[in-house]
Amino acid sequence: MVKRKITPERREQRKKLLELLQRAGINDVAGVQELFKEMVSTVLENGLEGELDDELGYSKYDYRNKETDNSRNGYSEKTLKTSLGDIEI
């Protein structure tokens, strides 16, 4: 078996990842899966928010520069069914 060398950059990434897991109190695979679901949820929420900004032409709190009759009508929680399980956004 060939032993691969770990670059200093990769070693630093691993160190930061282990610190993150430790601070979050994650010590098993189930915890890692929950953290990953949270990350996916955050990325999806930010993506949807950015898409809405682009579609409407103004950001969430910049309604004074609005040049459309469309507006933000609030939000509601959504549940996505994924291979990771249900994800709330």
Are 17 and 9 spatial neighbours (Cβ–Cβ below 8 Å)? no
Q: Where are the domains of the chain?
A: 10-62+77-88
* Whether pTM exceeds 0.75: no
- Provide the 10 A C-beta neighbour count for residue 36: 12
* Residue pLDDT tens, the chain, 89 long: 677 888 999 999 999 999 999 998 999 999 999 989 999 999 999 998 899 888 888 877 776 777 777 777 777 888 989 888 899 88
- Provide the 10 A C-beta neighbour count for residue 11: 10
